[in-house]
Structure formats: C-alpha cells, structure tokens
Amino acid sequence: MSRYFIDRASRYVVFIFGVLALLILAAIAIFILKDSLPAFREIGISDIIFGTKWYPSHGAFGILTMLAGSVLVTLLALLMAVPLALGCAIFLAEVAPPRIRQLTRPAVELLVGIPSVVYGLVGMIVLCPLIANLSGTGSGSSVLVAAIVLAIMILPTVTSISEDSMRAIPNQYREGALALGATRWQTIHHVILPAARNGIMASIVLGTGRAIGETMAVIMVIGNSPIFPTNIFAPARTLTGNIAVEIMSATGIHQSALFATGVVLFILIMLINSLALIAYRKKT
C-alpha cells in the first residue's frame, strides 16, 4: 500500500463522513415533517401555531402557550447565566493566577458532564420547595426554577467558549493598552471584550440553543401547564416538554401534533442559528 493510495482513500472516507452528517440532518428533517403533515393538514398551521389551548382529547392543539413558555424560560436563563459566565470567563482569562485557573476551569467544565436528569432532580427536591415557601402557594414548579436550572446548565458552555476567545487575543493588544496608561479594567472593557465579541456572541448562541432544547431537567421543575405564565412563579410548558411529556402515550393525530411541535422547535432553532450567523458575519 503506497502512501499515495492511503492519502487518497482517507480523503474519500472523510468526505463520506461529511456527507453522512448532512444526510442524517436531512433524514431527521424529512421524518419529522412527514409525521407532522397530518396534523398541519387536519388542524391547520395557524390553529397549531397561534392556538392558545392544548387539549388533544378534545381536539385542541394550539402551542402558542408553549412557544411563549420556551422563549420566556430561555430569556430568563440567559439573563442569569450570561453576566455570571462572562464574569467567570474574564476572571479565568485575564485575572486569575495560573494555579487558581487550573482548579476553576475543570470545575466549571465538570458542570457539562452532569446528566440533565440530575439537575432536574436537584431542582425538584431542593429549589421547588424553596420557591414554594418563598411564594407561599403552589408546589414551586415554576418558570423561575426552570430558568435557574437552565442557567446553571448553560453556564459552562458560555464560560469556556468566551474564555477561549479572550485567550485567543494576541498579547500585543493588552500590552498596547497598558502601555497607553489604561488600567486593567479599562483594558478588559475597551480592548479585550470588543476584540472577543464574536466568540462571546457564539457562546451565547450556543447557550441559547442548549437552553431551548433542554427537556428532562425542565419537565421535572416547570409543572408542564399549557398556559401563558402570568409571572415567574407560575408554571408553564415548553415545546420540548410538550413532546417529552406526551409522546409515549400519544397516538394518531395527537402524535402527529407532537411532531408538529417538533417542526416548530426545529424552525425556531434554525432561526436562532441563522440570526447568529448574520450577526457574526456583520462584525467581521
């Protein structure tokens, strides 16, 4: 076997793997679309997307409340996670002495490795009763607990990617700023953060994707009520939760409507990613 042959062969193998990834994505999209068609045809696209009542056994298949639930929970989680994660990233990249960084970074990354059902369990056993005591009524299953759990879950994603993008900034930037008499904070605020902007945006988008797609931890703490949440102490239902809670016992048009929920989720995530891509291109 000549080296030339191996080189050629490996090129094709890698090419096939690349195409395979695309094919899998296409297959998933087609499968979800195909199974959702009966629902879209029989119920109607607008009745599904803009309908506010979900009661499958009585023929109501509106998912607007869950769209609102997903968006609200994700925004709230970002609101909590992003400042914390950015602060953590700045500390790790710019401030922390090497020894502390060696301890802190693996600890943050370890958070990724914890299964989401464990986050859900902690939320259910610890946070829910706490929130129930604070708000005085209910079981504590709420948008707030879901957002807190999600915030902790996306913290490591946002932190480590932001940190990496700050570390990638050449040292001349820092030296230049410091040589001009800027303080450390001025350097971070006016030089490092703007230069790392793309990476930070990317980390936030990835965090958003994880938050909106997370299922198990959320259904354990949000109560899964298909209603518009009136405040953060109220229960709600997310798009992913709708699918997970009911798919096992759904048949017929009900099942198809759950696949339609999946289609809406799919489009929502594609929209977020394209927005990020556009924002990313503009800045560079």
Which residue lies nearer to another protein by CB, 81 or 124?
124
Site size for another protein (CB under 8 A): 35
CB 152 within 8 A of CB 119: yes
2 contacts another protein (rule: CB under 8 A): no
122 contacts another protein (rule: CB under 8 A): no
Q: How far is CA 110 from CA 105, 117, 137, 235, 270, in A?
A: 9, 15, 35, 30, 28
What b/e string do you get for 54-77 counting C-beta neighbours within 10 Å, with b at 16 or more? bebeeeebbbbbbbbbbebbbebb
What binding mask, one character per residue, do residues 33-72 give for another protein by CB under 8 A, x or -?
--------------------xxxxxx--------------
Q: Find the shortest distance in angstroms from Cβ 215 to another protein.
A: 11
Backbone angles phi, psi at 55, to 5 degrees: -150, 75
Site stretch for another protein (CB under 8 A), options 40-48, 100-108, 138-146, 264-272:
138-146
What b/e string do you get for 150-170 counting C-beta neighbours within 10 Å, with b at 16 or more? bbbbbbbbbbbbbbbbbeebe
Which residue lies nearer to another protein by CB, 132 or 201?
132
- What whole-number distance in Å separates Cα of residue 126 and Cα of residue 114? 17
Q: What's 188's DSSP letter?
A: I
CB 78 within 8 A of CB 176: no
Q: Find the shortest distance in angstroms from Cβ 248 to another protein.
A: 5
Which residue lies nearer to another protein by CB, 117 or 267?
117
Q: Find the shortest distance in angstroms from Cβ 55 to another protein.
A: 6
Site stretch for another protein (CB under 8 A), options 130-138, 172-180, 183-191, 193-201:
130-138
Which of 46, 171, 249, 284 touches another protein by CB under 8 A? 249
User: What stretches of 12-111 adopt beta strand conformation (E)?
Assistant: 54-55, 60-61
Site stretch for another protein (CB under 8 A), options 165-173, 219-227, 262-270, 275-283:
219-227
Which of 84, 178, 232, 250 touches another protein by CB under 8 A? 250
Q: Find the shortest distance in angstroms from Cβ 99 to another protein.
A: 37
Q: Which residue from 243, 216, 234, 211 is spatially nearest to 121, judged by alpha carbons? A: 216
140 contacts another protein (rule: CB under 8 A): yes
**Residue 14 CB neighbours (<10 A):** 10
- What whole-number distance in Å separates Cα of residue 215 and Cα of residue 222? 10
Q: Which residues bind another protein (CB under 8 A)?
A: 1, 53-58, 124-125, 128-129, 132, 137-141, 219-220, 223-227, 235, 237, 244-246, 248-252, 254
